[in-house]
């Protein structure tokens, strides 16, 4: 079992979009996947409930005991994806403790880049405690194609000393449109550019566990 925590304490970074799509992409690729919603607002749970025949199991653990509770709900799955909560440092710490990989979505904005500093510090502390067993990486989220800031974000994030995934999730109307129905772009637009970038992200993450 591999545990991927999608974390950023700043709201609006695209955590839930990435967590739901990543979990579904892994599932469609044949893996047994559990999605954990650790946000008290319950966005991933709302997304799941919007679809009657939801194929993805979503469990809410919105308390700072994720690292302990996860063992009781995810004993025989291939992947657990944790949709992180904004602003709650205790929940972030618990999710980091549980994780094999921390994925940090960051919008290409100076404010969002600066706002990741505290989370990066928490992640680096855990990496040190685990002698490097914990992996972590940034993923550029809600990028707007053709803008200069989209290119500059990689340079800015490099100063934090964590890897930056080649995959990017761009700003597209299709993401919120599919979310309303509890689905993903992988089902609604399986041959589209959005689905391709989600699959690329899932494949890049799987390579980190090989």
Residue 13, Cβ density class (10 Å: 0-12 exposed, 13-18 middle, ≥19 buried): buried
Say if domain 2-207 classifies as CATH 3.40.50.740. no
Domains of the chain, residue spans:
2-207
pLDDT tens by residue, the chain, 210 residues: 999 999 998 878 899 999 999 999 999 999 999 999 999 999 999 999 999 999 999 999 999 999 999 988 877 899 999 999 887 789 999 999 999 999 999 998 888 888 899 999 999 999 999 999 999 999 999 887 766 666 678 888 999 999 999 999 999 999 999 999 999 999 999 999 999 999 999 999 999 998
């Amino acid at each position: 079992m591999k545990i991927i925590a999608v974390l950023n304490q700043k709201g609006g970074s695209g955590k839930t979009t990435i967590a739901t799509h990543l979990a579904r992409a892994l599932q469609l690729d044949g893996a047994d996947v559990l999605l954990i919603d650790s946000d008290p607002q319950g966005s991933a749970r709302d997304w799941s409930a919007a679809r009657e025949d939801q194929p993805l199991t979503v469990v809410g653990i919105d308390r700072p005991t994720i690292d302990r509770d996860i063992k009781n709900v995810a004993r025989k799955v291939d992947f657990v994806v944790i949709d992180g909560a904004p602003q709650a440092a205790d929940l972030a710490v618990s999710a980091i403790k549980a994780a094999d990989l921390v994925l940090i979505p960051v919008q290409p904005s100076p404010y969002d880049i600066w706002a990741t500093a505290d989370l990066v510090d928490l992640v680096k502390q855990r990496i040190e405690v685990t002698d490097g067993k914990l992996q972590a990486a940034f993923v550029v989220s809600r990028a707007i194609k053709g803008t200069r800031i989209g290119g500059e974000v990689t340079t800015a994030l490099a100063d934090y000393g964590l890897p930056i995934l080649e995959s990017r999730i761009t700003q597209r109307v299709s993401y919120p449109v599919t979310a309303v129905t509890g689905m993903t772009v992988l089902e609604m637009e399986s041959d589209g550019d959005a689905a391709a970038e989600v699959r690329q992200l899932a494949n890049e993450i799987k390579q980190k566990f090989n």
